[in-house]
């Protein structure tokens, strides 16, 4: 399942992504917020993180003003590999090399057309495994020590 969450600064871009997902029959759950009224992004980030870690097949999309706050918050959980992506190339590499399970977008600087391409690439790209999986396992080992 795909989950999507945002703060007030990501509200407008989220709506464009939701339209894209609906138009392409991509199943998703909107975890809010559903307005441009100021909110605290960690509340919505934590909702998404809980859903993504509930099943290894789940993926997420987080959107805030710069993408940085959501990235920091999401990556506090050792089961989350959130990647702030500015274009399709970084989204592809985030999935292939890092097996990212959460895509983070900057609501204030990502145009809606580019955002749709980034989301599409993120959802269609598989992790490569091999040396990249080994590297992710090395990160997990560091967290346990």
Contact 123, 117 (CB under 8 A): no
Residue 97 annotated among the catalytic residues of the structure: yes
Please pick, among 46, 92, 97, 114, the residue that the annotation labels catalytic.
97
Q: Measuring CA to CA, which residue among 99, 67, 98 is closest to residue 84?
A: 67
**HSE (side-chain half, CA atoms, 13 Å) at 30:** 16
Q: How far apart are CA 65 and CA 117, in angstroms?
A: 19
Positions marked catalytic = 97
């Amino acid at each position: 399942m795909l989950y999507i969450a945002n703060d007030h600064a990501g509200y407008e871009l989220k709506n464009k992504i939701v339209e894209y997902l609906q138009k392409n029959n991509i199943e998703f759950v909107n975890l809010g917020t559903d307005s441009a009224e100021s909110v605290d992004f960690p509340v919505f980030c934590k909702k998404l993180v809980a859903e993504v870690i509930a099943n290894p097949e789940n993926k997420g999309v987080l959107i805030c003003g710069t993408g940085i706050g959501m990235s920091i918050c999401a990556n506090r959980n050792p089961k989350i590999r959130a990647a702030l992506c500015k274009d399709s190339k970084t989204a592809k590499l985030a999935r292939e090399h890092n097996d990212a399970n959460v895509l983070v977008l900057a609501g204030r600087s990502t145009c809606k057309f580019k955002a749709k391409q980034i989301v599409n690439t993120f959802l269609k790209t598989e992790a490569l495994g091999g040396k990249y999986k080994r590297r992710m396992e090395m990160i997990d080992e560091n967290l346990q020590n």
